């Protein structure tokens, strides 16, 4: 396994897996910005085999696994033979439509992987713009500053499952803050809530929306959400991923006109990952 140092190494590895493939399969589709960031920060590693490439991304105390394989047989053989998949804590995301994912999940089961969590994507297609909610609370919603970065990370780690919910690292949060992608609410000097998004043209992804217990039921979450919509009048599609079992969150998203769009994320983990 070698560290990926430049972008073209990824293209070359993917190409070798795809050349002459009869049933190419992959879970590796990072945005160019994310890929570059992983390479720059030295967290992406590659292991090339005949007809396939594994990519491993270091994330705190575990690894994310990505694969590009010429066909499912090559992939299953490589999964069964790879010692790192048995000895290190590894998770992988399989994204697609449910019937296809059931088959893909079975490819990893002999190597000890099981479904660890299950998320699905919801979308809100904009027909009319959302007016800003004018309340006194709204003035408390501010753009996050770099001074908030550590608190934001602490809150995300306390509130979400890092194995299943792609919790950003500190440098990713600092980059998001610099890009103006996080809104926060403070109360008595403490971080009371946040909304973290990534906008690209007419699509915006709502990554995290959270009010700290103790500050809930005051309308802060609604203020954050309304501010988010109002600040993005050009966006026509809002997206988010939600844990399928989180019925409370799903109900709230439905309130804001998000609907499931059929895309599912099965998070698989090996037995080195504790539930």
Partner 1 sequence: MNVLVEILKSIRPEFDFTVSTDFLADGMLDSFDMITLVATLDKTYSISIEGVDITPEHFKNLATIARLLKKYGVEVT
Task: Provide the binding-site residues for partner 1, judged by CB under 8 A.
Answer: 11-21, 24, 26, 29-32, 68, 95, 125, 199-204, 235-237, 263
- The alpha-helical segments, DSSP class H, found in 41-148 are 72-81, 84-87, 98-108
Reference 252, options 230, 213, 221; nearest CA is 221
- Cβ-based nearer residue to partner 1, 54 or 141: 54
Burial of 228 (0-12, 13-18, 19+ CB in 10 A): buried
User: Smallest distance from the beta carbon of 270 to partner 1, in angstroms?
Assistant: 24
Helix residue ranges, H only, the chain: 7-18, 32-40, 72-81, 84-87, 98-108, 149-159, 170-178, 220-230, 247-255
Nearest Cα to 198, choosing from 173, 220, 221, 176? 176
Cβ nearer to partner 1, comparing 196 with 210: 196
User: How far, in Å, CA of 168 to CA of 163, rounded?
Assistant: 11
Nearer to partner 1, 229 or 273 (CB): 229
Least distance in Å: CB of 253 to partner 1? 18
Query: Would you say 166 or 204 has its CB closer to partner 1?
Result: 204
Shortest distance, position 237 Cβ to partner 1, whole Å:
6
Work out how close the CB of 235 gets to partner 1 at its nearest, in angstroms, rounded to a whole number. 8
Query: What's the closest the beta carbon of residue 100 comes to partner 1, in angstroms?
Result: 11
Of 11 and 42, CB closest to partner 1? 11
- Across the chain, how many H-helices and E-strands are there? 9, 13
- Residue 48 or 151: the one with the smaller Cβ distance to partner 1 is 48
User: What letter would DSSP give residue 96?
Assistant: E
Report whether 236 contacts 130 (CB < 8 A): no
Shortest Å, Cβ 15 to partner 1: 3
């Amino acid at each position: 396994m070698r560290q990926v140092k430049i972008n073209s190494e990824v293209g070359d590895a993917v190409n070798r897996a795809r050349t002459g493939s009869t049933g190419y399969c992959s879970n590796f589709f990072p945005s160019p910005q994310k890929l570059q960031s992983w390479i720059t920060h030295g967290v992406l590693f590659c292991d090339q085999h005949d007809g396939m490439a594994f990519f491993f991304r270091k994330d705190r105390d575990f690894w994310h696994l990505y694969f590009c394989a010429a066909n499912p047989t090559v992939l299953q053989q490589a999964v069964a033979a790879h010692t790192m998949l048995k000895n290190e804590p590894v998770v992988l995301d399989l994204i697609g439509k449910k019937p296809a994912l059931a088959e893909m999940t079975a490819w990893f089961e002999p190597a000890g992987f099981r479904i660890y969590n299950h998320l699905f994507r919801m979308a809100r297609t904009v027909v009319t713009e959302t007016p800003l909610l004018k309340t006194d609370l709204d003035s408390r919603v501010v753009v996050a500053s770099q001074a908030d970065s550590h608190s934001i990370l602490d809150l995300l780690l306390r509130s979400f499952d890092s194995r299943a919910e792609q919790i950003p690292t500190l440098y990713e949060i600092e980059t998001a803050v610099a890009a103006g992608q996080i809104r926060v609410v403070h109360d008595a000097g403490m971080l009371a809530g946040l909304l973290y998004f990534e906008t690209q043209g007419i699509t915006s992804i709502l990554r995290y929306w959270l009010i700290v217990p103790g500050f809930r039921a005051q309308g802060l979450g609604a203020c954050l959400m309304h501010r988010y919509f109002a600040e993005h009048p050009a966006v026509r599609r809002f997206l988010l991923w939600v844990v399928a079992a989180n019925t409370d969150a799903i109900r709230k998203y439905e309130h804001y006109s998000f609907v499931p769009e059929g895309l599912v994320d099965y998070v698989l983990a090996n037995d080195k990952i504790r539930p």
